[in-house]
Amino acid sequence: MALSFYVHIPYCIKRCGYCDFNTYTPNELQDGATLEIVSTDYIDAVLKELVAAPFDEVPTIFFGGGTPSLLPAQDLGRVIDAIKVRNGLSSDCEITLEANPDSITAEKLARYIEVGFNRISIGMQSSMPHVLAILDRTHNPENVKKAVDLARAAGFGSISVDLIYGTPGETLEDWRQSVTTALALDVDHMSAYALIVESGTKLSAQIKRGELTMPDDDLMADMYLLVDQLCESSGYSWYELSNWSKPEHACRHNIAYWQNQNWWGLGPGAHSHIDGKRFWNVKHPTAYKTKLFAGESPIQESEELTHSQRMDESILLGIRMREGLDISSLSPAQIELLTTYSENGFLQRVDNRVVLTPTGRLIADRIVREITFQYP
């Protein structure tokens, strides 16, 4: 068996207006605190949690957040070293760092390479200043190219950029400019996610007050089809609904999630999946550290998936992938339903599998709801 690790770094300098992730600014955790103060013993806590994980070899490690690139390489390297000593890393282990373009320097990137990172994912979101302003992103859009070039020069073998579409006030031409700008960079991978307005965020409050208006569904669909078209024409192939890559540069860590493989999430709020059992940690960094330093488990809750739940998840996750669904794993009723979608151009048959077309990807959630309802 293989075991991937996700390592959560819950710190940001500033909370973005759309963000609902489990992240905290230093001042939110402690009045007047600096990042160095609140993160001093955080890695020690992560290493204490590590001792409870299985001993299987590790094919991927992903440091997400938050803003992992705010922490010094030697701190993150302690986690990589501990996993390597304890579990062993596969010969081609993919080790990813999420990074804010403004937090990257040539010196920092060189150190990240030295401690073991070989893949970096840079939060670009948009190339348009007015879109970044609505998202409350603080980075200078010009620094994205600089960050990509520095990462390539430092020796990163795979570089990704993340984009968000559907921001209030964003036009189709704004989005075209952002995608075109991203494709002009020296990157191997692109993620493009539709903006989801989460309750309780600053952006949600602005929309409720009528200060901002979300784009309609037709524009959102056009934006998705546009990024797919531009990526495919530039040598990037889709391998999951929101992800495109050049050959051999798909994110293997995220594929582990979509294939329901085993992974362990280290850090506050991190989720894990081991052999059909899911569990997740307490969310607050202080509570997380307190439990571990007291010798207690940080796990808050867990659930054992039933056979039916596992089958539903295999459909939910599998249909998102370019490989699609194996017909032999479906019931006659499900196959009949999918035949209707195929006749309407939302699916195509490839050997013994069914794969979403670009327009089919727009209604993937609807298809999943209908065919999981049909499961015997």
Please tell me the predicted confidence (pLDDT) of residue 19: 79
Bridge partner residues of 304 (DSSP): 277
Distance from C-alpha of 63 to C-alpha of 46, rounded to nearest angstrom: 12
* Structural element, H or E, at residue 60: strand 58-65
Instruction: Check if the beta carbon of residue 160 is closer than 8 Å to that of residue 121.
Output: yes
If you search the block for the tokens 């195929």, which residue do you land on?
Answer: 342
Q: What is the DSSP string of 106-126?
A: HHHHHHHHHHT--EEEEEEE-
Q: Among 101, 176, 171, 104, which Cα is nearest to 139's?
A: 101
Please tell me the predicted confidence (pLDDT) of residue 371: 87
Please tell me the predicted confidence (pLDDT) of residue 39: 80
Structural tokens at position 362: 């727009």
Please tell me the predicted confidence (pLDDT) of residue 374: 53
- For the structural domain made of 4-258, what CATH number should be given? 3.20.20.70
Please tell me the predicted confidence (pLDDT) of residue 148: 98
Instruction: Check if the beta carbon of residue 158 is closer than 8 Å to that of residue 119.
Output: yes
The residue extents of the domains of the chain are 4-258, 308-373
Distance from C-alpha of 244 to C-alpha of 255, rounded to nearest angstrom: 12
Q: With helix as H, strand as E and coil as C, how does 305-329 read? A: CCHHHHHHHHHHHHCCECCCEEHHH
pLDDT, averaged across the chain: 93
Q: Is the dihedral of CA 277, 10, 250, 221 positive or negative?
A: positive
pLDDT, one tens digit for every residue, the chain (376 residues): 899 999 999 998 887 877 778 888 877 777 766 787 778 899 999 999 999 999 999 999 999 999 999 999 999 999 999 999 999 999 999 999 999 999 899 999 999 999 999 999 999 999 999 999 999 887 888 899 999 999 999 999 999 999 999 999 999 999 999 999 999 999 999 999 999 888 888 888 898 899 989 899 999 999 999 999 999 999 999 999 999 999 999 999 999 999 999 999 999 999 999 999 999 999 999 999 999 999 999 999 999 999 888 888 889 999 999 999 998 888 898 888 898 999 999 999 888 999 999 999 999 999 999 888 655 4
- For the structural domain made of 308-373, what CATH number should be given? 1.10.10.10
